[in-house]
Structure 1
Amino acid sequence: MVLHTEKRPVKVANCSGYHGDPAFEMYRQATLGDVDFITGDYLAEVNLANNAQAWRNGEHPGYEPTAWDGLQQTIDVIAQKRIRVVINGGALDPKALALKVETLVSEKKLNLRVAYLSGDDLYPTLGPNMPTTKDELRHLDSANTSTAPADLTYAFLNNGGNPVPMISAHAYLGARGIVEGLRRGADIVICGRVADASPVIAAAWFWHGWCETDYDELAGSLIAGHLIECSAYVTGGNFADFDNYDLDSLVEPGFPIAEIARDGTCVISKHPGTDGFINVDTVRCQFLYELQEIRTSTAMSALISPTYMLRRLGTIGMCSVDEAAAFLKSVLISGIRGSPPPPTTKCAIFYQGGYEAQLLLNATGYGTPKKWDLLEKQLRHFIPADIMNDLETLEFQRVGVTAENPRSQLDSTTYLRVLSTSRKQSAVISVAKAMGNISLKHFSGFHASLDMRTAIPRPFLAYYPAIVSQSGINETINFIDGPNKISSFGTGHPARYEELGTRDTYDPKDPQTYTCDTKQIRLGDIALGRSGDKGGNLNVGFFPKSPCHWPWLQDYMTKDRMRQLIGTDWDDSFFIERVEFPHIHAVHFVVYGILGRGVSSSTRLDGFGKGFLDYVRDKFVEVPVDIFQN
């Protein structure tokens, strides 16, 4: 067994944050400088489900093509520079990709050992159909008694007693199986659905020879993995303050590198000469992105991982190092504390949700609100009552507002998104038929896109996030040791688990009172941040552009304030959590239920919550003038 106990930091370069990232980024990360590991995250929650049925029917290879392409381009450099590779591009069939890589290695006569991780695919155990009761498979948020599930969370129970086919079920694995593979000599480890940060955690765990009870060090590597797993999201992509930088530098940002020290601290950087930039603000934005759950036993926050749990994130610190010209090349992360893993892990389940369709209809200018009022009344009138009972969803979403004194017709045009879903295709078709019945009875100036393909019902996948016991997962590392020979090793389970505590949520304890005059500005003029999704829940975090504005932002951004800022999108079935990260001057919210069922079955136009932050930052807020005197 290979043990690695280098004292210097391990240098881990990320080459992918999604299957759409170009394959050549793996080659760039391997050749533009020296790195010890290349990791890649190719999976979003819906990736696996989109191809699962075709894969089981023998119509899809199961793995992500960009992962294979990247390995083909880079394999010679990997062998020459002795770079270890850990990626989740194996997706549905890590074995299939590992076999292709082994064949490539053999053809080139390279000295590389290939392994793949299995155990995440729980479809054989949980499928082929969805549960028939709520208790058979617990929802991810079921332990949170403060939240109420979205209306269609358990839609699979409403099928007249008929079974609802499950498409896929994948548990989120941690890092221990990858570490076992590295310790047994693997140079390339192909994974399926491991947690996004698991490859980076495993790289540092193996490199420094940590024990599984080195919770603080492991927690630090989890943060490192979280910061770099979304590729350019920490080097200028999806950056709230992008408009204050040279746009040419953001056309093709370089991908990030985490240098993780033996004590778990890390420095986030990128290869010299690549575009984009890294500074404390880009790192804070990515840190606040898609924090899944906030549970603590003290007044700090926790980011949950199937490998272990982070506690006391309120102690996290960031500072810039290696300042050059206008940009800070790297950022040091410290102050992370950890604890044992929870006994459960997330399992992303997709099932046949039925059929969906949307109508995209346009209105221009004068009297637009009344036009949409009339059209909604007409559609509801022409849809038969029995059909209305079969529709799970019928939403009329008004998108955009007309410009005042418009300069062009496009400035004056908005559209209505009529979204319908049902387990019956005929019910969704009836919505389009009702539109036909309106015919020339429409409002003044009605028009629509020439492309009406979206009005044709199509099957869609519904999402159900569950929790499963970690002790019931049979995680295995498998080595390809020659033609038709695979050596497999069980990776066991953690020696100790720690139950998740009650989710923490609090407002400022001693808010400051301002008695001076105020002025109205956009929130985005004073605050940055990031938003995203975890299933049906939306996460959003804020921090001030200037440190002297933190006391005001900390006091201003309360749970009630967030409800106000959500505006008419707020529903009383939602629930808000709020925590603070005082050392990085950030406040973070989770809005439970606002994205409905989430992922592929969210009915919101911004179904992944990516635009929510800038919606809120565009709102006018009253700010005390005194805070600008500092």
Structure 2
Amino acid sequence: MSNTTGKRPVKVANCSGYHGDPAFEMYRQATLGDVDFITGDYLAEVNLANNAQAWRDGNHPGYEPTAWDGLQQTIDVIAEKGIRVVINGGALDPRALALKVEALVSEKNLNLRIAYLSGDDLYPVVGPNMPTTKDELRYLDSGNTSIVPPELTYAFLNNGQKPVPMVSAHAYLGARGIVEGLRRGADIVICGRVADASPVIAAAWFWHDWRETDYDKLAGSLIAGHLIECSAYVTGGNFAGFDNYDLERLIEPGFPITEIAADGTCVITKHSNTDGFINSDTVRCQFLYELQGNKYLNSDVSADISDIHVEDIGEDRVLVYGIRGSPPPPTTKCAVFYQGGYEAQLLLNATGYATSKKWDLLEMQLRHFIPEEAMDDLETLEFQRIGVPAENPRSQRDSTTYLRVYMTSRNQNSLVAVAKAMGNISLKHFSGFHASLDMRTAIPRPFLAYYPAIVNQSDINETINFIERSDKITSFKTGHPPSYEELGTRDSYDPPNPKLYTCDTKKINLGDIVLGRSGDKGGNLNVGLFPKDHPHWPWLRSYMTKDRMRQLVGDDWDDSFFIERVEFSHIEAVHFVIYGILGRGVSSSSRLDGFGKGFVDYIRDKTVEVPVEIL
């Protein structure tokens, strides 16, 4: 855990966790204290797809506006303080943003060199239509024989001979291209779809002049990047334990900084004059976000996170170490989106008495009045009951819940037929039926379907490009990793040597003694849990088996799902991946919580029997 080269740790500040984070956060990170790098993650998986067609048609600039706005606000400070910037806000067209930044730099006569990374956009290679067989573009989890892909994973194959148009296909790039740019003198590197942590890895890799085979060090920086990539998620945002803190501190949490040492260990911190807070709980929560077991993958390194340590070492300072690295896998993720057809929903209310029977009747009526040909066209028709009426309610709001009728089809007329069927029920409805006057959600709208694929890293032509003048660009190929290592079967196990308790128990909400975080990995959901207090860990790890998680999932469980479970003993956390529960995932998920963010608090709200002796 020491800086073995004698060079001080590199200070990397994050200014964005998605494209909606305010542009001024880049300026704040540059001016509220001293940092060496500013990185920013502007891309969720669906960002690129949302604008891809308009961009190809010449109706969208291709880059994320908040990235450009942040650079405009901050460029003078960047030049004055010698801060290097690496962001993925170039999105669909990093070249376009790089040209705008170069023009800004020239206008202000600043001594900054601008580069952009290309190679992630695989649409010209695998598009313009979706594959016609499963083998043409491999599904992300196709190598896991325990997994049954969600029902609509290959929906693009169910369209007869008519090709299904692809909208976008972007591979997740690593850090090596960015490092090449920094070594060649770039001050600002504009990227498209690099992996979320890649800019942070690149900053540390370049600063400490690591070799591409320094896998332990690279792996440590990968986790440092993972911890700060979601902006306020590690400084108090999306924090399960928020209710134990002064809410005033959480109105506008500051954004994080990581200090990465030469050995790959890091400290997570923030500028002292910002709100929010960083402690071992916020760091553990963010660490557990969007994992897929005890291996964390990047195009340059695989990180074994089994032995991660997280320690408070001062106010708003948390030390993270214990990460081991190995060569990366030969493949990388490729996010593919295609025209999924149309979606619509009906939001219908019921109040109080006999609500369950009311929804039974309404579903029977709708199914009766939907024409058979429309029913055959529906890919999805779900009747989701949201909420439970309060006992002895004090207001009608307390007594009212709603039904979400969610539907998709390649034929928008079939969705219109469902709305018409609702009209046919008219005054045949159940007692006390009512709905919002705003019925816009019932109007079919196009939606993008998501297909997570894998592609061979060796097939990607990654290039770093320097803007010499507006009419001259110098490009350099950045190569590929020197070696690869197949991932193999992911670890999954129930608690070895579980502790048995024979004393009396007490019923409490799991969240009274447990914190955690959940999120999505495509169609899969991950959730990690850890105790608020050390004495509860032996019970939690023994209690939270795979079967227990199935029980806690409750009526949402389906036998097509598959669970993996691992433990992180040094941070006292148990982690699960539930495969298939989010359907196709992202914009394609029919779940109300399609990104899985609320799942952890559903589990924490469960009543469990806890041994009295540990309370």
8 Å CA contact 2:506–2:611 kept in 1: the answer is yes
Matched, 1:394 2:381: yes
Which residue of the partner structure matches residue 461 of structure 1? Answer: 448
**Structure 1 segment 169-184 matched on structure 2, within 5 A:** 169-184=169-184
Aligned to 1:498: 485
Give the AA of the match of 1:137: L
Q: What CA distance in whole angstroms lies between the structure 2 residues aligned with 1:45 and 1:246?
A: 33
Counterpart position of 2:235: 235
- The residue type equivalent to 1:386 in the other structure is E
Match of 1:315 in 2: 307
Paired residue type of 2:295: A
Structure 1 match to 2:601: 614
* Residue in 1 that maps onto 2:531: 544
Give 1:303's aligned residue: 296
Q: CA deviation at 1:306?
A: 1.5
Structure 1: how far apart are the matches of 2:470 and 2:606? 62
Correspondence 1:207-218 to 2 at 5 A: 207-218=207-218
What's the offset of the Cα at 1:385?
1.6
Change (3 A) 1:6 1:355: farther
- Give the secondary structure class of the aligned counterpart of 1:396: strand
* Sequence identity percentage: 81
String of CA shifts for 1:154-191, please: whole Å, max 9, x gaps.
00001122100000000000000000000000000000
- Residue 108 of structure 2 is matched in structure 1 by 108
DSSP-derived class of the 1:303 partner: strand
> Residue 207 of structure 1: CA displacement?
0.1
Matches within 5 A, 1:65-464: 65-291=65-291, 293-294=292-293, 301-311=294-304, 313-322=305-314, 328-464=315-451
User: How far apart, CA to CA, are the structure 1 residues paired with 2:120 and 2:273?
Assistant: 39
Report if aligned partners of 2:99, 2:470 keep a CA contact under 8 Å in 1: no
Give the deviation of 1:386 after TM superposition: 2.0
Q: Distance between the aligned counterparts of 2:111 and 2:530, measured in 1?
A: 48
Cα pair 2:449 2:584 within 8 Å, conserved: yes
Separation in structure 2 between the aligned mates of residue 483 and residue 401 of structure 1, nearest angstrom: 61
Unaligned runs of 5+ in 1: 295-300, 323-327
Contact 1:116 1:189 in 2 (8 A): yes
Equivalent position amino acid for 1:440 in 2: L
The one-letter code of the counterpart of 1:564 is Q
Q: Would you identify which runs of 4 or more consecutive aligned residues in structure 1 move more than 3 Å?
A: none
Q: Distance in 2 between matches of 1:335 and 1:445?
A: 60
Contact 2:465 2:475 in 1 (8 A): yes
1:472 to 428, 434, 459: 459
Return the alpha-carbon distance in structure 2 between the equivalents of residues 87 and 6 of structure 1: 28
Distance in 1, matches of 2:312 and 2:433, equals 55
Give the structure-2-normalised TM-score: 0.99
CA–CA distance in structure 2, aligned partners of residues 501 and 370 of structure 1: 49
CA distance in 2, matches of 1:329, 1:219: 23
CA distance in 2, matches of 1:196, 1:546: 31
1:306 partner letter: S
Output the CA distance in 1 between the equivalents of 2:79 and 2:282.
33
Instruction: Render the CA deviation track for 1:529-562: whole Å, top value 9, x for unaligned.
Output: 0000010000000000001110000100000000
Cα distance in 2 for partners of 1:6, 1:573 equals 53
Which residue pairs with 1:64 in the alignment? 64
Q: How many residues align?
A: 611
Which one-letter code corresponds to 1:427 in the other structure?
Answer: S
Instruction: Give the CA deviation at 1:423.
Output: 0.7
**Shift of residue 483, structure 1, vs aligned partner:** 2.7
Say if 2:509 and 2:606, in contact at 8 Å, map to a contact too. yes
Instruction: Say if 2:312 and 2:318, in contact at 8 Å, map to a contact too.
Output: yes
State yes or no: 1:625 paired with 2:612: yes
CA distance in 1, matches of 2:306, 2:64: 37
Give the conservation status (yes or no) of the 8 Å contact 1:6–1:207.
no
Deviations 1:361-420 (A, max 9, x none): 000011111000000000000011222111000000000010111111111100000011
In structure 2, relative to structure 1, the CA distance for the partners of 1:470 and 1:592 (3 Å cut) is: same
* Matched-pair contact (CA < 8 Å) for 1:354–1:423: yes
Secondary structure in structure 1 of the residue aligned to 2:53: helix
Query: Partner of 1:561 in structure 2?
Result: 548
The partner residue of 1:574 within 556, 561, 566 is 561
TM-score, length-normalised on structure 1? 0.96
Alignment partners' CA distance in 2, 1:387 and 1:74: 54
Q: In structure 1, how many angstroms separate the alpha carbons of the residues matched to 2:180 and 2:109?
A: 25
Deviation by residue 1:497-553 (Cα, 9 ceiling, x = unmatched): 001111110001111111100000000001000000010000000000001110000
Contact 2:119-2:460 within 8 A present in 1 as well: yes
- Partner residue in 2 for 1:297: none
* Change beyond 3 A, Cα 1:26–1:6: farther
Contact 2:347 2:435 in 1 (8 A): yes
| Matching residue of 1:298 | none
Alpha-carbon distance between aligned partners in 1 of 2:175 and 2:151, rounded to the nearest angstrom: 35
Query: In the alignment, is the contact (CA less than 8 A) between 1:97 and 1:190 conserved in 2?
Result: yes
CA distance in 2 between counterparts of 1:360 and 1:561 reads 33
What are the superposed Cα offsets for residues 8-60 of structure 1, whole Å, 9 maximum, x if unpaired?
Answer: 00000000000000000000000000000000000000000000000001110
Contact 1:130 1:351 (8 Å CA) reproduced = yes
Alignment pair present for 1:519 and 2:506: yes
Tell me the distance in 1 between the aligned counterparts of 2:68 and 2:339.
Answer: 29
State how far apart, in whole Å, the 2-side matches of 1:48 and 1:181 are: 23
User: RMSD over aligned Cα, in angstroms?
Assistant: 0.7
Q: Note the residue ranges of structure 2 that are not aligned, 5 or more in a row.
A: none
Q: Partner of 2:306: helix, strand, or coil?
A: helix
Q: Which amino acid aligns with 1:310?
A: A
Q: Structure 1: how far apart are the matches of 2:66 and 2:249?
A: 25
- Counterpart CA distance in 2 for 1:399 and 1:306 is 41
In the TM superposition, what is the alpha-carbon distance from 1:6 to its structure 2 partner? 7.3
